[in-house]
Amino acid sequence: MSSRSQTGASGTPLLDRISGPADVRGLAAHELPALASEIREFLVEAVSRTGGHLGPNLGVVELTIALHRVFDSPRDRLLWDTGHQAYVHKLLTGRKDFERLRSRGGLSGYPSQEESDHDVIENSHASTALSYADGFAKAHQLRGLTDRHVVAIIGDGALTGGMAWEALNNISATKDLPLVIVVNDNGRSYAPTRGGLAEHLTTLRTTQGYERFLEWGKDRLRGTPVIGGPLLDTLHGAKKGLKDFVAPQGLFEDLGLKYVGPVDGHDTAQVESALRRARTFGGPVIVHCITQKGKGHAPAEQHELDQFHAIGAVSAKKKPSGPSWTSVFSEEMVRLGGEREDIVGITAAMLQPVGLEAFAKAYPKRVFDVGIAEQHAVTSAAGLALGGVHPVVAVYATFLNRAFDQVLMDVALHGCGVTFALDRAGATGNDGPSHNGMWDMSILQVVPGLRVAAPRDGARLRALLREAVEVEDAPTVVRYPKGAVEADIEPVASVGGLDVLVRARGVSRVLLVSVGAMARVSLEAAALLAERGVGVTVVDPRWVKPVNSALVGLAAEHELVATVEDNGRVGGVGSAITQALRDARVTTPVREFALTQKFFEHGSRNELLDEAGLTADNIAQTVHESLAAAGAHHLQDVS
């Protein structure tokens, strides 16, 4: 319980005075540590109630305060990569109502243009902010807007992504580009940052060479009349940056980027001083800030896995929800790994969230964390497959979008046996439009030879994953949603590889094709139609790409085909079935139920499904109306 609720008075008097960045700039320097403490208290209490990204925001409190004291947002553009570390930014720009954080009608968990002029990009896909910043800064130059700055805040984990280095390569080529790049270095993304860059930053983070040389210089040159004064200024690092000669930041300098740091990211005065220096350089400059993820909250600081990267509503009492889709995948991967030594796992900086942690513990030499580099992950998987092993690339469905070219041209073109496990497929909800995995079954339809499986329950996830890894001459995909797995739904029959979930009593007028996790709502819709006297057969294709020829045959026997999927309507499974029927000259009409092709506002999965009309009531009503309309049209043709 906070001091506010205990006493009836505000426990955050300084934060209460902040309605915008001008108020932050108006605070005295000695008040800033207290403000930082109040912000941490606020975040721990608020995010513990709602769930959200706690650790990343606790780590950037002083950094964000300094940013808003040095730069004038929104005139100066602050770009967050990724946006889940922008909670403090929201507080300092006047958004303090966290009661419905990440829920429909409340604050987004990421920057949102609809919320505030201070939010420039939603940006929850990492490694992109530097490219945005490059474009913004160049646009300012072209328009003659010399009185404003662009600042990109990027985590060390995001610098493992290739797109960040493409941006750095271009930024460094424009020597007068007024762009400040703040590297928020906490040695982590979800988990500890991997690779050569991480080792380089660790060297920068831990070197004492500069400090020792500074002390040496002050001892020996103090009082020297000829060079003492100017050189001492240099030794203090104010004008020429002696650190350039003794600290190993050559990686950035080789790119032509000025470097300031490393500085203590939890010392507002240090960060503020570094940012003010960077602002005056007139060209691209990196400010390297060392921070601690979860700073100021002991449970987060001590949580070795992800330091409370994202948490659920820890203060709310919840009933046990059973195993998750991710945990079912995780368990089956461990079993498969024990049966087949050729199976390896690949993750893009998300070992635990995608369920590969247990596999890594069981078979540590057979899992590869490539950092936030989905493109590399996919093409590396192609190389592994060509080398004689079977890689399973586990990634959130929304992040496979980033590696489409690699799936198409590096994996499929070469007939590589690579399995993609797409977690968080369909409507995921709370993380907003960038995280809904509603694009995969559309974009993957165009990939020749690729097969897509959509399990409806845990038993089918296990079975389809096993079937997928048996394919060695083409890519396979197994996609499943976020959340808890409900009870298994056993088929009543099987037809040509299709699972029949409901067989109509009497004449079956409607063939309802249920895709993956939409099985339960499909069964409910079929029951409602049965109450209206409409015979419905419900089938689950299991493998939704390519379209099963048995499905085409069944469709020809019905008056209407209805498809239900939690993918976007355009180019999804429904569209593929419609095309297959047309190719086979089957004239049965198809009614497609899917997610509306738009960017959904953050909310729960059920809220998104309701908004898209993916409810049993709407499906049943629409199917009934479609049958009635088709019957009336038939009568007109006969007359």
Catalytic residues: 293, 374, 402
Q: Which residues make Cβ contacts (< 8 Å) with residue 632, sequence separation at least 6?
A: none
Helix %, strand %, coil % of the chain (to 5): 45, 15, 40
- DSSP element (H, E) containing 269: helix 268-279
Q: Has 288 been labeled as part of a binding site?
A: no
Contact 353, 423 (CB under 8 A): yes
Q: Has 606 been labeled as part of a binding site?
A: no
Q: Has 253 been labeled as part of a binding site?
A: no
| Cα–Cα nearest to 455, from 514, 536, 393, 527 | 514
Query: At which residue do the structure tokens 């503020």 appear?
Result: 272
Burial class (CB in 10 A: 0-12, 13-18, 19+), 636: exposed
| Cα–Cα nearest to 156, from 310, 76, 74, 261 | 261
Token duo for residue 13: 């008097």
Q: Has 297 been labeled as part of a binding site?
A: yes
DSSP string, 148-183: --EEEEEETGGGGSHHHHHHHHHHTT-TT--EEEEE
φ/ψ of residue 390, rounded to 5:
-115, 105
DSSP string, 32-94: HHHHHHHHHHHHHHHHHHH-B--HHHHTTHHHHHHHHHHS-TTTSEEEEESGGG-HHHHHHTT
Q: Has 156 been labeled as part of a binding site?
A: yes
Q: Has 360 been labeled as part of a binding site?
A: no
Q: Has 124 been labeled as part of a binding site?
A: yes
Q: Has 442 been labeled as part of a binding site?
A: no
Contact 120, 151 (CB under 8 A): no
3-state secondary structure of 311: strand
List Cα–Cα distances, 518 to 113, 120, 425, in angstroms.
32, 35, 12
Annotated binding residues: 84, 124-126, 156-158, 186, 297, 374
Annotated binding residues for Mg(2+): 156, 186
Annotated binding residues for thiamine diphosphate: 84, 124-126, 157-158, 186, 297, 374
